[in-house]
Amino acid sequence: MKTMKEYLKELTAIHAVSSKEDPVIEYMRNHFLEFSDEVEVDVIGNVICRISSGAPNAKKIMVFGHMDEVGFIVRNIDKNGYLYVERIGGANVNVLPGLRLDVIGEKGVVPGVAGTKSYHFLKPEEKGSFPSQDKLYIDIGVKSKEEAEKLGVKIGSWICFHADFIERDNGWITSKALDDRVACAILLQLGEHLAKNKDQLNWDVYLVACVQEEFNIRGILPAVKKIKPNVSIGLDVTPACDTPDLYGYTDVKLDGGPALTYLNFHGKGTLAGVLPDTGLIEELEKICSRESIPFQREIAVGVITENAFIVFDELGAAVANISIPARYTHTPIETISMKDVEWAEKLLYSFIIGLEKNTGFGKNYKFAK
């Protein structure tokens, strides 16, 4: 059994933007199979792991997190071999100039750097400003489009932030793709713990490592239609506001415990978000109090997670989100605290083990009493 940190280090080293999650799919499938015989991959790549309670007609809880990361795709290669890109997901282009990137070509990883105008020739009005995305270019050390293509880099090749896993003495981790490989690590450790104590389960548990969240947020829906869960709990990161540029926006911070979502809302044309089931969020709060797990309250406008759509799918499901506070989201220096990660796994385990056969959530359950 690996530690959560070991899982994280291996998972964040993998390159996998939306629809190219195959290496993470293989990783999650192989590790799920270590403690469950019921693991499948659906047509678009969602990895579904079932841990059965053994009870007939048992209720179903689904816990999920996405495998893909933000990145870029090559839109054009000019005659001199410079790459021009479009974003896959909400990659922060403000951090790109001067950054090292990994271009995933047909022949393997090609190192690249995001070009930036030499400081000596910057005009006064250019200092402190960022070029627009269409002006950004990637230099892979070639002199022509033909040379780039010989390296296996073509239009449609994808690009990731370069992996660099940094551990701090206080338990903080800095890396690319912590959004949302941290959820994948939690799913694996949670699954191991539940499988060892499956005789205590009254509900069937479905752990889902899902796809294409960063691109369209709906990649999990085929798995939801198959599982038809009574309860859906999503795992993701949420911006920590304990840095000078975000002081006071919310109280969410590193080492403060997992954040329970009370509202998230995209507000950028999607007009969708999550308002959790009242009974479900209250039960999570009670467990935190009983198990001495610190938790934070998340209100996040500008954030959206898959439960925004799961709550309305077919018969619907009672939904809640548990978030890991993260600094510098959608950059190569995302930073989290392992304390918050461990507390989140403990909360999920305690909640699932505590579910009774007659436990229920949702308005229909509340008003059927």
Name the residue type at position 46: N
| Residue 26 is labelled as binding a ligand | no
In a 3-state reduction of DSSP, which class is residue 260? strand
Name the residue type at position 126: E
Across the range 187-204, mean pLDDT stands at 97
Q: Higher pLDDT residue, 35 or 131?
A: 35
Whether residue 358 is predicted with pLDDT greater than 80 in this model: the reply is yes
CATH class of 4-68+176-368: alpha beta
| Residue 251 is labelled as binding a ligand | no
Strand order in the sheet with 334-337: 166-167, 172-175, 334-337
Catalytic residue set? 213
Around Cβ 162, how many Cβ atoms within 10 Å? 16
- Could you tell me the pLDDT band of residue 313, with boundaries at 50, 70 and 90? confident
Domain with CATH 2.40.30.40 in the chain: 71-161
- Could you tell me the pLDDT band of residue 107, with boundaries at 50, 70 and 90? very high
Q: What is the pLDDT of residue 323?
A: 98
3-state helix, strand, coil split of the chain in percent (to 5) is: 30, 25, 45
Return the structure tokens found at 237.
């990161």
| Residue 31 is labelled as binding a ligand | no
Strand pairing category for 259-265 and 231-239 = unpaired
Helix (H), strand (E) at residue 274: strand 273-274
Give the tens place of pLDDT for each residue, 65-104: 999 999 999 999 999 999 999 999 999 999 999 999 999 9
| Residue 236 is labelled as binding a ligand | yes
Mean pLDDT across the chain: 95
Q: What CATH number should be reported for the domain whose range is 71-161?
A: 2.40.30.40
Domain with CATH 3.40.630.10 in the chain: 4-68+176-368
Give the tens place of pLDDT for each residue, 322-348: 999 999 999 999 999 999 999 999 999
Q: Higher pLDDT residue, 132 or 264?
A: 264
Prediction pTM value: 0.96
- Select from 88, 84, 65, 74 the least CA-distant residue to 16: 88
Give the tens place of pLDDT for each residue, 212-237: 999 999 999 999 999 999 999 999 99
| Residue 330 is labelled as binding a ligand | yes
Return the structure tokens found at 79.
């005659």
Whether residue 369 is predicted with pLDDT greater than 70 in this model: the reply is no
